[in-house]
Structure 1
Amino acid sequence: MSTAPVTVVGIGADGWPGLAPTSQEALRAAEVLVGGPRQLDLLPKECTGERVTWPTPLRPAVPGLLDAHAGRRVCVLASGDPMFFGIGRTLTEVLGPGRIRVLPHPSSASYACARLGWPLNGTDVISLVGRPLGALSAALHDGRRLLVLSAGSGTPAEVAARLRERGYGPSRMTVLEQLGGERERRIEGTAADWQSEPVDALNVIAVECHRDPNALRLPLTPGLPDEAFEHDGQLTKRHVRAATLAALAPAPGELLWDVGGGSGSIGIEWMRAHPSCRAVTVERDAVRAERIARNAEALGVPALDVVTGRAPSALAGLPTPDAVFIGGGLTAPGLLDACWEALRPGGRLVANTVTLESEALLTGWYRRHGGDLTRLAVAHAVPVGGFTGWRQAMPVTQWSVTKA
């Protein structure tokens, strides 16, 4: 691959006149100009470099594209701030930070907050550019302000529909088109009454979240309400799930194996703990695997990786986990051994069971490896005639351990 530096220039809807002199000079001097058709069309004729449109898919093509222009001055165009949901990240990861020079422009989020009078540091930003709509759901909380980076002219109507579906129909929406350009425009309304009128493809959607009082409230803490999940009874119930997530102890960037996914609740709540948390759920039943994917999309973590197969064979080739949860199939030959072997040093393993056979197995592992062996018992108050009594759920034995 060429070792020549690459200059990345951010450009906005205001085009060439809105660029700083340093950015204009870099574009004039470039021998090769790389960008999307819309960005390249913003440049005047005085930018004489060869114009190259990004191929699709973009990332795997970057090394070859740069090699094809080795030894020439290459300038890449990006929308707004290249390091804010932009091409700058991809180029840095492919080339290394020492190989690129970034000349940013104000981001669409900065422009939007300036127009709305919102503090940028108090506003959540969600990108739907090349990402599924389900990513929006995890950010919905009453009273929060969101900026949604749109994937095109149809995104506002899709966002309004998702807000209605999740019980946020009263939310105020403002679509900001062509921010910073001569054709800047805003459209306002609520998700409940949003009209699917044509909007410019270059838009940002501002959302002031307001939850319908009758909608299910989904907190940030572990232990979502059981009714938040579609399930067939194979669900780690709320109180046990909260204790299980506490033992798994998710941290940013970590990967979980959720073995015996059921409804996917553990993997889903693990990923909701932080946007960078990742999870793989392994479920042998194809119907349940499809249900897990629906739950993940509905609850804001569509990137959950659902593997349909029987463990331990289905674990082969999966990336090394930081934590493993085993919620079913403990007595399958070799399952615990495979999970323990795959777990990195310092990683956590948590296993839950309600059967005596699996409890005996966990007791043996506890004796060999230590950790915590806990009995979780939950009872709920229920009517007993004209009075109230306790109904005991099946006790859960939980083994949690950190691998030395």
Structure 2
Amino acid sequence: MPKSPESPWLTIVGIGEDGLDGLSSSARAALEEATLIMGAPRHLTLLPALKAETLSWPVPFEEGVQMLLSRRGNPTVMLASGDPFWFGAGVSITRHLDRREWTAYPAPSTFALAAARLGWPLQDMECHGLHAAPLTRLRPSLVPGRRAILLLRDGPAVGELADWLTEQGFGASTLHVLEALGGPRERIRLCTAERLGLADIAHPVAVGLSVAGEGRTLPRSSGISDDWFDHDGQIAKRPARALTLSALAPRPGETLWDIGAGSGSVAIEWLLAHPSTAAIAFEADPERAARARANALSLGADRLTVIEGRAPEILTGRTRPDAIFIGGGLSQSLLEALFALPGGSTRLVANAVTLESEALLARWHADKGGDLLRIELAQAAPLGTRRGWRAAYPLVQWCVAL
């Protein structure tokens, strides 16, 4: 890689629908001095005639990144929408560069403009960039009375949003459809999801969402009801899952391995704990792997990575993450492999329901320490004309630091 220049050669300029009118003097100077300006065609049309060559950003996006990096050392401007570092393209470039190589001049973000138009306190809003993300990412946010600001791909995506909200039981939600904010084409219209009635929604578009309706609300606590998940019986049941998540103790930015993931319930709840968490689910059965992916998508945890394969073979060459859960496939060889893998401190939680697996955990607990917990649960069930306790299989849980 060429040596990094000592002064910035790349200027990232956030531009709004008002074009140059909203730019600072420093951003204007960068445009005047550049030899190349790269941006989306819509952004380039907002510029007056300049001496710099202009180049439309290609599709796929990553090709444009490489084209821009090939300009290293030459005065270049990259145009981005609003604030390049809030659901913007800024970090896609700067992660490849030394901090001395670039500078940035943000414009007001669409989120800021939307909050200003609607009078909503931005610090209390959920803000989502859904240009390339599934609408299901909103599922944990669907709580009556809550509000969110959404950036959408185009006009038809507003119709897709309205249909999806209605399917989820939130058709009464109010949509503030915000088009071309900050420019001469700005327009704001109001409707409900179940009665959209707008056929000419222009790009760029955002939606201010006020959630209302009788749809089901996804709890934020660990141990959500089993019926949120599609499964074939291979699932950590709600009480045991709550105890498992408590032992795994998810923290922002951490990564989990869910080995023998089944329906993916533990990994999905790990992801729901915080938007910065990550998880990899390892599952040998292709049908269960597909089911885990579908569950993750429907519950707004589409960032779950599902890898088909059998542990410990599938773990070869990997570095241990922050936490590991063994929900299926517990064996002597798997534990040996996990303890042998490189990596820093890792929290391991393993659940066992068979006598053989329980004995295995008892031996490893005697050797490695940690906490060994026996969980016995019973649920009220009909017993003739009365009720009695129906006991579940006892669960033994081992928690240890690797």
- TM tier, shorter chain? over 0.9
Name 2:52's counterpart in structure 1. Answer: 49
1:7 positional shift:
0.9
User: 1:63–1:94: 8 Å Cα contact kept in structure 2?
Assistant: no
1:25 aligns with 2:59: no
Decide whether the 8 Å contact of 1:138 with 1:301 is kept in 2. no
The answer to whether 1:39 aligns with 2:38 is no
Partner SS state of residue 310, structure 1: coil
Structure 1 residue 61 displacement after superposition: 4.9
Aligned partner of 1:7 in structure 2 is: 11
2:246 alignment counterpart: 246
Give 1:391's aligned amino acid: R
For 1:227 and 1:394, the matched residues in 2 are separated by 20
| Matching of residues 5-404 of structure 1 within 5 Å | 5=8, 6-45=10-49, 47-59=50-62, 61-67=64-70, 69-195=71-197, 197-212=199-214, 215-318=215-318, 320-331=320-331, 334-342=333-341, 344-403=343-402
Post-superposition, which runs of at least 4 consecutive aligned residues in structure 1 deviate over 4 A? Answer: none
Q: Distance in 2 between matches of 1:166 and 1:344?
A: 42
Kindly state the Cα deviation for residue 130 of structure 1 after the two structures are TM-superposed: 2.4
Whole-angstrom distance in 2 between the partners of 1:302 and 1:196: 29
Counterpart contact for 1:247–1:400, Cα < 8 Å: yes
Indicate the percent of aligned positions where both proteins have the same amino acid.
44
Contact 1:128 1:149 in 2 (8 A): yes
Deviation at 1:196, TM superposition (A): 6.0
How far is 1:392 from its partner? 1.1
CA distance in 1 between counterparts of 2:98 and 2:137 reads 28
Q: Does the CA contact (< 8 Å) of 1:321 and 1:343 recur in 2?
A: no
Aligned-partner Cα distance in 2 for 1:92–1:43: 24
CA offset digits 1:83-125 (Å, max 9, x no partner)? 1111222222111333221111000000000011001100001
SS of 1:380's equivalent?
A: strand
Task: Measure, in 2, the Cα distance between the counterparts of 1:337 and 1:143.
Answer: 50
Tell me if the contact between 2:173 and 2:193 (Cα under 8 Å) persists in the aligned partners. yes
1:16–1:42: 8 Å Cα contact kept in structure 2?
A: yes
Cα 1:307–1:189 shift into 2, 3 Å: same
Matches of 1:189 and 1:319 in 2, distance apart? 50
Alpha-carbon distance in 1 for matches of 2:47, 2:93:
22
- Cα shift at 1:131: 2.2
Deviation at 1:208, TM superposition (A): 0.9
The answer on whether the counterparts of 2:319 and 2:343 sit within 8 Å (CA) in structure 1 is: no
Q: Do the aligned residues in 2 keep the contact of 1:257 with 1:321 (CA within 8 Å)?
A: yes
**Per-residue CA shift, 1:48-80, capped at 9, x if unaligned?**
21112223333465355333x344211111100
Conservation of the 8 A alpha-carbon contact between 1:352 and 1:397: yes
The residue identity in structure 1 corresponding to 2:294 is: R
Unaligned stretches of 5+ in structure 2?
A: none
Runs of 5+ unmatched residues, structure 1: none
Contact 1:263–1:288 (CA under 8 A) maintained in structure 2: yes
Q: Report the TM-score when normalising by structure 2.
A: 0.94
Shift of 1:155: 1.5
How far apart, CA to CA, are the structure 1 residues paired with 2:63 and 2:244? 39
1:334 is paired with a residue whose SS is: helix
Does the 8 Å contact 2:140/2:300 carry over to 1?
yes
More off after superposition, 343-352 vs 57-66 = 57-66
SS of 1:94 mapped into structure 2: coil
SS in 1 for 2:257: strand
Distance in 2 between the 1:330 and 1:18 partners?
A: 60
Distance 1:97 1:144 in 2: 38
Deviation at 1:307, TM superposition (A): 0.9
Question: What residue identity is the alignment partner of 1:119?
Answer: P
- 2 CA distance for matches of 1:284 and 1:167? 35
Assess if the C-alpha contact under 8 Å between 2:12 and 2:80 holds in 1. yes
Shift of 1:323: 0.7
Moved more, 340-349 or 258-267: 340-349
Query: How far apart, in 2, do the equivalents of 1:27 and 1:329 lie?
Result: 59
Paired letter, 1:350:
V
| 1:344 shift after superposition | 3.0
Q: Secondary structure at the match of 1:374?
A: strand
2:113 aligned counterpart, secondary structure: helix
SS at match of 1:262: coil
Distance between the aligned counterparts of 1:97 and 1:130, measured in 2?
28
Q: Secondary structure at the match of 1:287?
A: helix
Which whole-Å CA distance do the structure 2 matches of 1:259 and 1:70 have between them? 44
Find the aligned partners of 1:175 and 1:369 in 2 and give their Cα distance: 58
CA separation of 1:83 and 1:63: change in aligned 2, threshold 3 A:
same
Range that drifts further, 361-370 or 20-29 = 20-29
Alpha-carbon offset, residue 152 of structure 1: 1.6
| Secondary structure in structure 1 of the residue aligned to 2:239 | helix
- The answer to whether the 8 A contact 1:324-1:343 is kept is no
- For residues 137-178 of structure 1, the C-alpha deviation after alignment (integer angstroms, 9 at most, x for no partner) is 233223221111111222111212222233322211111000
The DSSP-based 3-state class of the residue aligned with 1:136 is helix
Contact 2:325 2:348 in 1 (8 A): yes
Say whether the 8 Å CA contact 2:318–2:341 is kept in structure 1: no
Aligned residues: 398
Q: Report how far residue 232 of structure 1 moved.
A: 0.8
